[in-house]
Amino acid sequence: MRHRAEILHPSKNRDISTSTLPKWPTVRQQFKQLLVILMLAFFLVNELLQRHTTSL
């Protein structure tokens, strides 16, 4: 029983460490995605504004 407890506890600690660590990469990925979306939206708005000004 002691051996099982010793084996289970490290695995639980590892699960906690692995579950807390991947949060940062996901946040970074979301931030990068937001930046990409903002850049695309900015370019689209610029193109639309240029077309609107040229049409006027």
Which amino acid type is present at position 48? L
- pLDDT at residue number 32: 92
Terminal alpha carbon distance of the chain: 82
In angstroms, the CA 42 to CA 53 distance is 16
pLDDT along the chain (56 residues), means of 10: 55 56 74 95 96 84
- pLDDT at residue number 40: 98
Query: What's the predicted TM-score (pTM) here?
Result: 0.48
